[in-house]
Amino acid sequence: MQSIILASKSPRRQELIRNITDDFEVIVSEADERLPDGISPEASPVYLAQVKARAVAAQHPDRLIIGADTVVILDGCVLGKPKDKDDAIRMLRTLSGKTHTVITGCCIIKAGRERAFGERTQVTFYPLSDGEIEAYIATGEPFDKAGSYGIQGKGSLFVSGIEGDFFNVMGLPVARLNRELRDFLSD
Q: Cα dist. 182→41, 91, 164, 167 in Å?
A: 28, 37, 21, 19
d(CA 179, CA 175): 6
How far apart, in Å, are the Cα atoms of 175 and each of 30, 122, 150, 162? 27, 17, 20, 16
Choosing from 22, 37, 62, 69, the catalytic residue is: 69
Please say if 69 is a catalytic residue.
Answer: yes
Residues 6+ away with beta carbon under 8 Å from 1: 20, 21, 23, 181, 185
Q: Are 47 and 67 in contact (CB under 8 A)?
A: no
Q: How far is CA 16 from the centre of its chain?
A: 11
The answer to whether the CB of 108 falls within 8 A of the CB of 181 is: yes
State the catalytic residues. 69
